[in-house]
Chains A and B, each alone.
Chain A
Amino acid sequence: MISVKRSLGAFAERKQYRGGDLVESVVDVGRPSGAPEDKIVARGVERYFGGKKAQRIHALGPLDISVRDGEFVCIVGPSGCGKSTFLRMVAGLIRPSEGEIEFTTRRSVQPTAMVFQDYSIFPWKKVLDNARYGLDIQGVPRKEGNKIALKYLEKLGLAERARSWPDTLSGGMKQRVAIARALTIEPEILLMDEPFAALDAQMRQILQDELLELWQADRRTVLFITHSLEEAVLLGDRVLVMSARPGRIIADIEIPFERPRRAEVRESPEFANVTAQLWRLLRQEVEKSRPTSSTEQNVPSDGEGEGLR
């Protein structure tokens, strides 16, 4: 990590190279500009895709979101509403076209970690090496890294498979490895982009329960994208509902179930009520996005956007 201190004083601007991408950040020795309990604050965030004006697609925004420290926030919305794009912006994979995302962090190393939907486990690294990846990148000595990685693999019931090749694992196990890999760097903010979407329904439920328990043990800030309303209600402290493209927040719903929550909450009548309420909100948005769904393929999720990194 190269860092150049431009100026000293209350604000020292700093440019860092992290993973090859320039991350502009401001070192703030005073207070963050939002409320003190806010971890992530997005202000007026918008994103366009496509180069030429006429072909530009307004993918999302303007978005104003704030997430408190230690909060589990789920985002639901129709396909193509830009919820994944928002997550990628928080992760620093792409930039907003307008506005800014600000977060406070207590550390100088990578504050966020991301769990992707699928295909994110490197097939040429064994399970333990996959789980240790983030630590390797940070230059943590291998021995120490193995210890930490193993600790998290254990938490996810994968300790015995540490020496296996990923190809010998089931889909559910692969996603567990992905979660373990994200957790080993002990990120302040965990970003999850439909992490269970590629799993079958039963495996999905099992992993939801595991994540619920895991999170309630250490309560780090989580941003969780999902298509499943049940998943959002089960896991989230709060559910943000996004509109059809361009995605905006149309509802911000506090989930009434207390913590620690148990998986059995699924069976309560209130759970069904909350889910139904969410569905009513979302339904018209899903239908709204249908006639334009033929243009969905024009949204380059990484093609054009990639070039603008």
Chain B
Amino acid sequence: MSNDNTSLRVERRVPRQADRDPAGFLRKRRIIEVSLAIAFPVLLLLLWQVAGSREWIDRRFYPPPSDIIGEIQRTFQDNPKGNWWVHIWVSVKRMLWGYGWGVIAGLALGVGMGMSRKLRATLEPTLNALYTVPKLALIGIFLIVLGFDDKPLIAVIAVTVFFFVWMQSMHAVMSVPEQLRETARSFESGRVQLFRHVIFPAALPEIFLGLRVSAGVAVLTLIGAEFVYAPGLEGIGYRINNARTVFDPLQAYVGLFVAAILGAIFVSVIKVIGKLVAPWASDDRTVL
């Protein structure tokens, strides 16, 4: 069959450097990935810096990073414009309370509705309708009902967080594979045991995805709500909004910086907790 040598080709599958030295390859790849992850934001900041210091953009509105870093240092060392720590603490308290209530309610309804058809039939249409109501618009109602302190803020955050947690945990419970449920039922597990041994752990990784998303949402809602209403004239959102009204963009950037750090910390804390309580779930392979 292979007489026609002129048209014969020989192909070879041979190892590449990466196949001979996988450790070196993985190390190199990791170095490249980490460098890229760092290089991109650094590049953006550099561009901003250059654009600001060369006055390509208006320095008063868009102060370059160096100005902002200087302002952050001054703000937190000498408190020339009021103690930021007080505002941060007040905001964190509001956020945690709101997040906590939202998570509790969202988990309860989400898991309950995931497990019971009847409960789902009763509540789902109503909740779906309420889901699209802009929560910030509720702040006026909450003010009247709950009074002029932190409670309306907490309520707005809780309601917003609730919808995210509810939706994700209901979906998580409903998508537990039938095979796992049947395995548990074949051992005559009751409803409670079924929940404890199978449904809850099976849904946990996805539930935590919802908790992570809503952690970010809690920060967003907090800042937004404090723009509208800030009892005692305290809070990160209030400071950002106030900086705008008194035309102090640097302070606004400090506020944005604080909010970003707060959000990043909060989301990673939830992520770490999720890893601790659901160690079997596969890791999403983030570089940093």
Contact = CB atoms under 8 A, between A and B. Distances in A.
B1 A103 contact: no
Interface residues of A, number: 43
A104 B29 contact: no
Contact of B19 (A29, A30, A96, A111): A96
Contact of A69 (B2, B4, B18, B20): B2
A69 B16 CA distance: 27
Chain B CB within 10 Å — which of A90, A94, A104, A304 has the most?
A: A104
A104 B23 contact: no
A276 B2 CA distance: 36
A121 interface: no
Contacts of A171: none
A32 B4 CA distance: 12
A27 B22 contact: no
Interface of B: 1-2, 4-16, 18-20, 22-23, 25-27, 29
Given A56-B22, A97-B15, A307-B26, 14 more contacts: A24-B14, A26-B10, A27-B10, A36-B2, A37-B1, A51-B25, A56-B23, A69-B2, A92-B13, A96-B13, A101-B13, A104-B10, A106-B7, A108-B9
A95 B17 CA distance: 10
A26 B11 contact: yes
B15 A24 contact: no
B4 A106 contact: yes
12 contacts: A26-B10, A26-B11, A26-B12, A51-B27, A53-B23, A92-B13, A96-B15, A97-B22, A98-B20, A103-B10, A104-B8, A304-B22
A102 B13 CA distance: 6
B5 A51 contact: no
Interface string A36-49: 11000000000010
Q: In the A-B complex, list the 3 residue pairs whose CB atoms are closest, starting with the nearest.
A: A28-B10, A51-B26, A25-B11
B11 A102 contact: yes
Contacts of A56: 22-23
Contact of B22 (A28, A70, A103, A308): A308
B6 to A, nearest CB: 7
A259 interface: no
B169 to A, nearest CB: 28
Contacts of B16: 95
